[in-house]
Amino acid sequence: MLDEEEPRQPSPDPEPGSGQAEDALFLDEKEHPEEEAPAASRKEKNGVIEALVLVLIALVLALTLKTYVAEAYEIKGKSMQTTFESGQRVVVLKAFYSIGRGDIVVFASSEDPAKDLIKRVIGLPGERIKVAGGNVYINDLKLDEVYAKHDERELRDSPIESRIRDDEYFVLGDNRPDSHDSRSFGPIPASSVKGKVVVRWWPPETLSSY
């Protein structure tokens, strides 16, 4: 039975370009893995640099926005009740805005320039204003103020009359009995205004635009 076994043919030499040759070439490349390490290291380093650049750009944009465009403020005190409550937060637009009657502005206090105040603009440049008995009169016409909070203490206040200069605004707090405003320190210079309130954003359920 052993004689019936066909003689084994010798294995042919691999032809150029055959699969074995390709395998040999592939194995030869794997013999030097250290050549791939520098490329991978450079790619990782570039990724870190890109991330740092993006963070730096984000910080610059944030600082630019805060300094020149908009800034968040926290309400402290009760002079603007019931429009704002203490602890609420608003966004103040510091550029690309105009001021009209009824707008709410943030400005530097004339008594303490390091302190910012928030009030509503009532009198505009060039107008004549009178505050008496809890009412406001602009050029002898009574102003309708649905936002203002009053009580009997205002009836005891002495009347105030003022001519607003061309570079000034007359501002009042909405909570008239508990507001330190232009009735005490007079009209404010336009140059002291830091911006106009455009959004109340905190708490979220009180979100509102102005």
Cβ contact 206:88 at 8 Å: yes
Spatial CB neighbours of 101, under 8 Å, sequence gap ≥ 6: 121, 122, 123, 124
Give the residue from 106, 139, 146 showing the smallest Cα distance to 124. Answer: 139
Identify the active-site residue in 41, 78, 79, 109. Answer: 79
Say if residue 190 is exposed, middle or buried (CB neighbours under 10 Å; 0-12, 13-18, 19+).
middle
**Could you give the CA distance from residue 60 to residue 65 in angstroms, rounded to a whole number?**
9
List the beta bridge partners of residue 177: none
196 catalytic residue (yes or no): no
The tokens of 200 are what?
A: 């109340």
Measured over the CA atoms of residue 187, residue 192, residue 195 and residue 201, the dihedral's sign is: negative
119 catalytic residue (yes or no): yes
What are the φ/ψ torsions at residue 170 (nearest 5 degrees)? -100, 120
**Could you give the CA distance from residue 76 to residue 180 in angstroms, rounded to a whole number?**
13
Identify the active-site residue in 94, 119, 149, 196. Answer: 119
Catalytically active residues are: 79, 119
